[in-house]
Amino acid sequence: LKRMQVWVAVNEADIGKIHPGLPVTFTVDAFPGETFRGEVGKVRLNASMTQNVVTYTVEIVTDNSSGLLLPYLTANVQFELDRRTNVLMVSNAALRWKPSAEQVAPEARETLEKLAGRKGKPEGGSVSSSKTGAGSAATTNRTALWIPEGNYVKPIRVQQGLSDGTYTEVQGEGLEEGMHVVTGIQTQTNNQDVATNPFTPKFPPRGGAARPK
């Protein structure tokens, strides 16, 4: 089969964003290292309800000239709802993280008070650049990224854009590609009485291995 259809069940809350011609990427469990591309062919109007959840069947049309795709394979599908080019992206963990008052540079603590109520959890990261950034949804939220400055952190106010669920487009005065931002703090667990910067990256002990998160 040179062309094949993939049937996808889409929740009623998301179906309004789906239309014919929308670009799609997907993977199948049989070929985990392979990414396939296609586009929305048709949205079927005969909805179904399972456990009070209404879904619509969306037909994806894809090229199968390679012959890799077989009937009844399970596909994991991502719809490309919008696209940005030449944007800065940051880990979503950095946008969620909120420092305590004593971690913030004294002159920046007023900003922390204005941002009170936002929650998140730490680890270190960096701002990255994307020539072509595709996302699942656009937002206009304003928040702050926290960058290390000695033993403190200070904020950079940013506006969020598209997100793919892992990284989010950000805009803001003072942002630069490669800038280090705080997404978390790793505490000292041994008994060494040595003063350390809590925002300095920690390395695994000799003989161990760092595992990506």
- pLDDT given for residue 158 in this prediction: 93
pTM (predicted TM-score): 0.58
pLDDT for residue 120 is more than 50: no
Higher pLDDT pick, 198 / 96 = 96
Structure tokens at 180: 């280090």
Q: Are 24 and 4 in contact (CB under 8 A)?
A: no
Rounded Cα distance between 127 and 84, Å, is: 16
Is residue 160 within 8 Å of 168, Cβ to Cβ?
yes
Res. 86: pLDDT tops 80: yes
Separation of alpha carbons 144 and 163, rounded Å: 16
- Is pLDDT at 133 greater than 80 in this prediction? no
Give 68 or 189, the one with higher predicted confidence: 68
Q: pLDDT class for 61, splitting at 50, 70, 90?
A: very high
Q: Are strands 82-91 and 75-79 parallel, antiparallel or unpaired?
A: unpaired
The pLDDT, as a whole number, for residue 211 is 44
Instruction: Decide if pLDDT at 55 tops 70.
Output: yes
User: Rounded to the nearest 5°, which phi and psi values hold at 114?
Assistant: -70, -25
pLDDT band at 111 (very low <50, low <70, confident <90, very high): confident
The whole-chain average pLDDT of the chain stands at 80
Tokens of 144: 């702050």
Mean pLDDT of 165-175: 90
Percent of the chain's residues with pLDDT above 70? 75
Q: Per-residue confidence at 141, pLDDT binned at 50, 70, 90?
A: low
CB within 8 A of 70, min separation 6: which ones?
30
21 Cβ contact list (under 8 Å, min separation 6): 39, 40
pLDDT for 21: 95
Which pair of structure tokens corresponds to residue 41? 């062919």
Q: Across residues 201-213, what is the average pLDDT?
A: 46
Looking at residue 1, what is its pLDDT?
60
Mean pLDDT for the stretch of residues 131-149:
64
Q: Average pLDDT, stretch 184-204?
A: 58
> What integer is the mean pLDDT of 27-45?
94
Nearest alpha-carbon partner for 145 in 155, 131, 159, 133: 155
Residue 188 predicted with pLDDT over 70: no
- For position 128, what pLDDT does the model report? 53
Residue 158: Cβ within 10 Å count: 25
pLDDT confidence band for 2 (50 / 70 / 90)? confident
- Tell me whether strands 167-171 and 152-163 are parallel, antiparallel or unpaired: antiparallel
